[in-house]
Amino acid sequence: MSDPARPVPTDGPSPFPVLFRDARFLVIDKPPGLAVHAGPAGGPSVEDAFPLLSRRPDGPWLAHRLDRDTSGCLLIALRKQPLLAAQAAFARGQARKTYWAIVRGRPAADSGTVAMTMAKQSDQRGWRMVEAPTGQDSRTAWRVLATDGHLSWLELRLLTGRTHQARLHCASLGCPILGDPIYGEATGRDSSMLHLMSRALALPLEPPVSAVAPPPDHIRAALARLPALRGGPDGD
């Protein structure tokens, strides 16, 4: 499997691999298991590194979010005006967000689109997203990249940006993401970590922003067990 993603040198120290950087933005390769911000419970987060990334008084800022256990492309704005431009692109659905997921089972087709309205549901065990008629619209285009019948490698194009969208949509296909304790089973050696990553991110700004992240070790190990695609996922 080829891997076009390569860290780009930065002008200053960064505790994360940097996939893209210019005067406006950087895209880091967020590791799995690290929150993007501390939240009410506190703890380590990507934002802890912000003083290392820029000393400007008007930044940096998170331009979007990734779940704690999701790895890959995370966009950080280094200035306020680029932040507003990126947020507008996300809000208008102009950002191209590509995810990779290793799921249990195999979808009934080779590709398709999941569309549903989603809402948050809370109970004594915590909260989760569910399909609900009064929720927010959500859409994900997906295709199977490889499968052995027991596990499948899916490419997901998130056409909207709802909380836990990729996780709920995969589960709705009857194929929960490996290692997902909320929408599937997280048992056994192979499912100790969530097998979901933000593989690529592109924004049609001027100049454009584009980055591709390499799979983390636990996803790479799962990919190695699946049948190789003819030509590979990147067409080489």
Catalytic residue among 3, 11, 22, 67: 67
From CA 175, how far away is CA 154, in angstroms rounded? 10
Backbone conformation region of residue 42, classed left if phi is above 0, alpha if psi is from -120 to 50, else beta: left
Give 106-109 contacts, CB < 8 A, sequence gap 24+: 106/144, 106/147, 106/149, 106/152, 106/175, 107/142, 107/144, 107/152, 107/154, 107/173, 107/174, 107/175, 108/173, 108/174
- The answer to whether residues 175 and 106 touch, using CB atoms and an 8 Å cutoff, is yes
H or E stretch covering 27 = strand 25-30
Scan for tokens 């932040």, then name that residue.
83
Catalytic, 67? Answer yes
Active site (catalytic) residues: 67
